[in-house]
Amino acid sequence: MTRELRAGADTVIRQALLGLQFRDAVDGRVVADGLDVQINDLWQPQRRQALVANRSGVFALHRFAGLRGDGDDVADSPSAGRFRVTARDLLGRYVPTAVLPSLPGDGLFAPSGMGSPAALPPHVPLFSAATRALPVAMASLRAELRLAGRDDTPVPWARLELWLGSQRLAEGVADERGRALLAFPLPRPPEPALRTSPASLRTVWQWSVVLRGFWHPDRRADEIPDLEDVQAQPEVLLLQAAGAPAPLPPLTLLAGDTLVAASAPSSFLYVAE
The predicted-structure confidence for 230-264, as pLDDT tens digits, reads as follows 999 999 999 999 877 899 999 999 998 999 999 98
Q: What is the pLDDT of residues 38-88, one digit of tens each?
A: 999 998 888 899 999 999 999 999 887 656 554 444 444 556 778 999 999
Among the listed residues 245, 146, 164, the one whose alpha carbon sits nearest the alpha carbon of residue 212: 164
Among the listed residues 26, 58, 60, the one whose alpha carbon sits nearest the alpha carbon of residue 173: 26
What is the percent of the chain where pLDDT is above 90? 63
Q: Are residues 23 and 115 in the same domain?
A: yes
241 in any annotated domain: yes
9 in any annotated domain: no
CATH number at residue 220: 2.60.40
Q: Are residues 108 and 144 in the same domain?
A: no
Q: What is the pLDDT of residues 2-32, one digit of tens each?
A: 455 455 544 445 567 899 999 999 999 999 9
Neighbours of 67 (CB within 10 A): 19
Q: Are residues 144 and 266 in the same domain?
A: yes
Sheet holding 83-89, edge to edge: 48-51, 35-41, 83-89, 97-99
Q: Are residues 99 and 149 in the same domain?
A: no
Quick one: average pLDDT of 191-199? 57
DSSP, collapsed to helix, strand or coil, labels residue 230 as helix
Q: Are residues 120 and 180 in the same domain?
A: no
Q: What is the pLDDT of residues 162-175, one digit of tens each?
A: 999 999 999 999 99
194 in any annotated domain: yes
Q: Are residues 158 and 263 in the same domain?
A: yes
Range of the domain at 265: 139-271
* 26-30, 137-141, 185-189: least confident range: 185-189
266 in any annotated domain: yes
Final residue belonging to a domain, choices 71, 93, 126: 126
- What length does the chain have? 273
Q: Are residues 175 and 267 in the same domain?
A: yes
Number of domains in the chain: 2
What is the pLDDT, as a whole number, of residue 273? 84
81 in any annotated domain: yes
Q: Which residues pair with 30 in a beta bridge?
A: 23
Among the listed residues 215, 191, 209, 229, the one whose alpha carbon sits nearest the alpha carbon of residue 270: 215
The torsion region of residue 169 among left (phi > 0), alpha (psi -120 to 50) and beta comes to alpha
Q: Are residues 154 and 200 in the same domain?
A: yes
Q: Are residues 111 and 166 in the same domain?
A: no
Final residue belonging to a domain, choices 74, 94, 126: 126
Q: Are residues 185 and 251 in the same domain?
A: yes
Q: Are residues 46 and 113 in the same domain?
A: yes
133 in any annotated domain: no
Contact assessment for residue 5 and residue 93, using Cβ atoms and an 8 Å cutoff: no
Final residue belonging to a domain, choices 82, 104, 126: 126
Distance from C-alpha of 103 to C-alpha of 4, rounded to nearest angstrom: 31
227 in any annotated domain: yes
What is the pLDDT, as a whole number, of residue 12? 45
Cα–Cα–Cα angle for 113, 118, 140, rounded to 5 degrees = 75
What mean pLDDT value characterizes the chain?
86
For residue 121, is the peptide bond before it cis, meaning its omega torsion is within 30 degrees of 0? no
Quick one: average pLDDT of 125-138? 92
Give the pLDDT band of residue 34 (cuts 50, 70, 90): very high
Distance from C-alpha of 131 to C-alpha of 140, rounded to nearest angstrom: 13
Q: Are residues 70 and 115 in the same domain?
A: yes
Among the listed residues 133, 201, 142, 138, the one whose alpha carbon sits nearest the alpha carbon of residue 175: 142
Distance from C-alpha of 144 to C-alpha of 152, rounded to nearest angstrom: 12
What is the pLDDT, as a whole number, of residue 71? 45
